[in-house]
Chains A and B, each alone.
Chain A
Amino acid sequence: MPDLSVDKGKLQLKNPIMTASGTYGYNLEYEDFTDLTKIGAIVTKAITLEPRDGNRGQRIIETECGMINSIGLENVGIERFLREKLPVLNNRGISFAVNIAGASIDEYALLAKKCESAGIKMIELNVSCPNVQHGCLEFGVDENILEALVKTVREVFTGCLIIKLTPNVTSIEKLGLACRNAGADAVSAINTIKGTGIKLSFENGKFKKEQVTGGYSGRGIKPAALGAVLRLKKVLDIPIIGMGGIYSLNDVFEFFASGAEAVQIGTANFTHPDIAGKIVSELDSFMNNNGFKTLDELKGALRNE
């Protein structure tokens, strides 16, 4: 039996296969398709202080190699999450991280505090949200603001603190370093890439247009995601969780080869709702059949160490 566990500081996972925020619901949504207790950790949908309705209008559209979403952080809010969703995760023995999103540093701190009090062991900060106090620029695009944010959250949260980086920046390295300097335990990358999907049809002499502007995810973003992980790996000594367009064990290996210690599967869950559990099994068989006893051995081989 190979050892699939990830043991990198506070990042402690039974295996490196996680599911990405916003694609996996809060807890049991996928239980009919896959054994949730087998997954390294599911990351919840982004949770905010107050419940949010999200965006109006069409929210998703398919593109050639993925999709665009503009959900707008619709969620039940932290109180209802803690009351209704958290006990289910705990009772079922599902490993998870809570993804949180705020409109100010204070909001993030309050959310993190509530998670700490509720005994939550792992949170992921979604920093691709507009900072209402500072001109609505996203927290994740300015290294000084990001560092201040992570420092504040670090003071109130003792568990594993993951910062989810946005790819919509010039130098993702600087932002990764800001997180590390402020005491983050890990970074995850990448969140969606800004983009627009348009679908035209021509019927009865008229064009019909569907258009959604938001975040691009899925197969098409894998090269951008691998590039981000490689660049982060060059400068960081904290673990990197890679994601973006993962559809197979081979994709997972590409992320390991680029320096990721764990990965998250997002959009692929929509295409193949059983994919997370399946990749865990495939990883286990691969290591078993090829004599890799630990993940570090496998990663070492992939990185030519």
Chain B
Amino acid sequence: MKEFKAKIKYNKKAGKDLYIMDLETPGGVFSKPGQFISILIPDKTLRRPLSILGNTGDGLQLLYKVRGEGTKYLSNLKSGDFINFTGIFGNTFAPGEKNLLIGAGVGLAPVYYLKKELEKKGVTSKLIAGFKTKDEIPEDLITDIDLISTDDGSFGEKGSIAEFTERCIKENTPDTICICGPVIVMKLVSETAAKYNINCQVSMESMMGCSIGACRGCVIKINDNGIIRNAAVCKEGTIFDGNKVFFGGCEHA
């Protein structure tokens, strides 16, 4: 873990309110799929966590959606500007031999990164992704996604990506599912995975204070072999066994 000053190589619009940022960190930085960084926003108390979309060797790529002031600030930055981030935080996925990777919305970032890493290693994987509507699909990444669904049918299949999971399981017989997206989608997919006895790894989100396991602000409840306990999403996660997480309809414990 370190504090980095990174130069923005480019920060380009990738869809409606959607951006891909390419950062240059001197000497590069070591990261794994599923890990995240926390970005300093001027005058804000809390850093903004963003998942890593890719590692270019001399830096990192991010995929983010403008939601409030912090991400709005990021979206206005230009090539050559600098940002301060801390990282690299969190654990990584433990892929199997045949993987089904699922991204919903900007949850695509970590599973996209995983797909690229698995390709390098020659491990089989299929990447499917769901979005509310066509505008929310990051254009640059479309060609790498094997199946796309939109809630309104404006692109690809019509419906929630959770609905297509079962079909993909039957077609591809994966031994492992890795998913990142809204809690409700991860919950549904975990249930489907359990039905087919497939290992399912979910990437959880939570409000983060310190990002380093010190404040206990980000904990969720997990069932750790029968013991119900707190787990810090920033440190023990963000990736958990889908069977162990209490989704409870909200992102928090």
Contact = CB atoms under 8 A, between A and B. Distances in A.
A218 interface: yes
Interface residues of B, number: 31
A270 B230 contact: no
B215 A22 contact: yes
Interface string B128-142: 000000000000000
B217 A71 contact: yes
A271 B46 contact: yes
B45 A269 contact: no
30 contacts: A23-B210, A23-B214, A25-B212, A25-B214, A25-B215, A29-B213, A32-B1, A32-B212, A33-B1, A33-B86, A54-B230, A57-B252, A57-B253, A58-B207, A59-B218, A59-B253, A60-B208, A60-B209, A60-B218, A62-B46, A65-B45, A67-B46, A67-B209, A69-B209, A74-B216, A74-B219, A201-B67, A219-B45, A270-B47, A273-B210
B161 to A, nearest CB: 19
B214 A58 contact: no
Contact of A62 (B40, B44, B213, B216): B44
Interface in B82-137: 86
Contacts of B216: 45, 54, 59, 71, 74
A234 interface: no
B146 interface: no
A271 B217 contact: no
Interface in B21-43: 40
Nearest to A247: B45
CB-based closest 7 A-B pairs: A25-B214, A29-B214, A60-B217, A32-B1, A58-B252, A74-B216, A59-B217
Contact of B3 (A22, A71, A267, A273): A273
A292 interface: no
Scoring A29, A201, A274 by chain B CB atoms within 10 A of each residue's CB, the highest score goes to A29
B167 interface: no
Chain A contact surface mostly: loop
B45 A270 contact: yes
A61 B215 contact: no
Contacts of B251: 58
B2 interface: yes
A67 B207 CA distance: 11
A231 to B, nearest CB: 26
Interface in A59-80: 59-63, 65-67, 69, 71, 74
A142 interface: no
A23 B212 CA distance: 11
A69 B210 contact: no
A194 B75 CA distance: 34
Contact of B207 (A45, A56, A59, A201): A59
What class of interface size applies to chain A in its complex with B?
35 or more
Chain B contact surface mostly: loop
A30 interface: yes
A65 B44 CA distance: 7
B217 A33 contact: no
Interface of A: 22-25, 29-30, 32-33, 45, 53-54, 56-63, 65-67, 69, 71, 74, 201, 218-219, 267, 269-274
Contacts of B67: 201
B219 A269 contact: no
Contacts of A62: 44-46
Contacts of A60: 46, 207-209, 215, 217-218
B215 A33 contact: no
B45 A61 contact: no
Given A33-B1, A271-B47, A25 B253 contact: no
A269 B210 contact: yes
A201 B68 CA distance: 9
Given A59-B253, A63-B45, A271-B46, 15 more contacts: A23-B215, A32-B212, A33-B86, A58-B250, A60-B218, A62-B45, A65-B45, A67-B46, A71-B215, A74-B216, A201-B67, A201-B68, A269-B214, A270-B210, A273-B86
Nearest to A271: B45
Contacts of A25: 212-215
Nearest to B253: A56
B214 to A, nearest CB: 4
A222 to B, nearest CB: 13
A60 B217 CA distance: 6
A274 B215 contact: no
